[in-house]
Amino acid sequence: MAFDYDLFVIGGGSGGVRAARVAAQGGAKVALAEEDRYGGTCVIRGCVPKKLMVFASEYRGAMADAQSYGWTVHAGGFDWDAFKTKLHAELDRLEEIYRGILRNNEVESFDTRARLVDPHTVELADGTQHSARHILIATGGRPVKPDLPGAEHAITSNDIFHLETLPKSILIIGGGYIACEFACILNGLGVQVTQFYRGAQILRGFDGEARGLVSDEMIQSGIHLHLGTNILSMDPVEGGYRVKASNGTEAMYQQVMFATGRAPNTEDLGLEAAGVATGRKGEIVVDEYSQTGVPSVYAIGEVTDRVNLTPVAIREGMAFVETVFNGNPTPVDHELIPTAIFTQPEMGTVGLSEEAARDQEPVDVYCNSFRPMQTAFAGRPDRVLMKLVVSRETRKVLGCHIVAPGAGEMIQLAGIAVKMGATKEDFDRTVAVHPTMSEELVTMKTPV
């Protein structure tokens, strides 16, 4: 049977664009459809603009530290309009790069919504249909709001980059990394931040000691963090919203943001008609090769709800091309993925938390928390954490957890060692780089 394309990709985010480009470079005839902006969540409404906001929010503390180091610093307030204008210009530039990648590799792109008609046919919004030997779904996910009175008035992480003005006060509901990152960002930009989380501690699933330190540091920086607390309702009032909380309190906030979860973008994709199965959250069910139960249809990235990180989606896209177009069946490796949470201070982590490791086998824990030289000199009470979780039997480092400025940069390199199966003694044989915070990773000798 003749097909219009060898591959049709639905979704122009990082994973979809990478798969389309690499397949086309190998000689495949490829098309891609994207109904919104190219670059997806990461480039347009996620990692990139968020990290730029992190940078912006850190300058207030940096200027205060500069004075402690003898500099005379004169600075006005934060100009949201100036920053936002430059931010969106940068996002436009990056989107054009993504479009250029497709053009330069002769991928035909359609700026419209696409859905499946059958296992080999895609229909665009204008009704035209295209056939493909293989179809790759990479439509990502979106933030969702809970079903409670007044929730329709709140914003999500998608909206934060488009605010006309920065609010004077904001309530953020949620305890995951998105909620915590934006709480730190907005606090750094001078917004009065309150955060509700219904659980006992933020950043569920991460190492308990590390998340505890992040929580303490957030509170110390001025964020009003209320654990074991949820929102019951929110009502629009003059100047903002009156919020009722589960702890019996009521307060007014100029803005309310929900960061309470995300859902896969699988609605109206024609999955049922094509025979593609979805899971309880609406995620597309795939095997270790990203293949659905329909042999010609594959899915990668957040729409599969496996490990929802941009570099993972890219790796999944590469593995898909290896498997389908290069004749080299390549399962996706989701083990020992290093990741960073851009709170202030940052958290970097790879491998098992202490709690998960203890459930698995006897472990030794090497840990130190201390005041780093730079901020201690400036008179700040900030603390950092360096932690290794080690198998008592094999001496392999099962987990590495860092809470410190620059933890994301550190964990990238530590992740290489952990992925290679380094032992505690391998770390010990490495000469320390002094004076640095990270030298603690190779100088801790006694388990705690």
Residues catalogued as catalytic: 434
Does an H or E element contain 59, and which? helix 47-68
Does an H or E element contain 216, and which? helix 208-220
Closest alpha carbon to 20 in 326, 320, 332, 305: 320
Q: Which two tokens stand for residue 295?
A: 């042999």
Contact 312, 306 (CB under 8 A): yes
- Residue type for 365, please? V
- 123, 135, 264, 301 from 269: Cα distances, Å: 10, 12, 11, 16
Residue corresponding to tokens 């035209």: 128
Distance (Å, whole) CA 315 – CA 320: 9
Q: Which two tokens stand for residue 303?
A: 């729409």
Closest alpha carbon to 339 in 318, 313, 317, 309: 309
Residue corresponding to tokens 């933030």: 143
Contact 107, 31 (CB under 8 A): yes
Side-chain-side CA neighbours of 39 within 13 Å: the count stands at 20
Query: Across the chain, how many H-helices and E-strands are there?
Result: 13, 21
Does an H or E element contain 103, and which? helix 80-104
Q: Which two tokens stand for residue 345?
A: 């201070």
Residue 344 makes CB contacts below 8 A (sequence gap 6+) with 54, 57, 58, 61, 184, 187, 188, 217, 218, 221, 405
Contact 137, 8 (CB under 8 A): no
Contact 401, 210 (CB under 8 A): yes
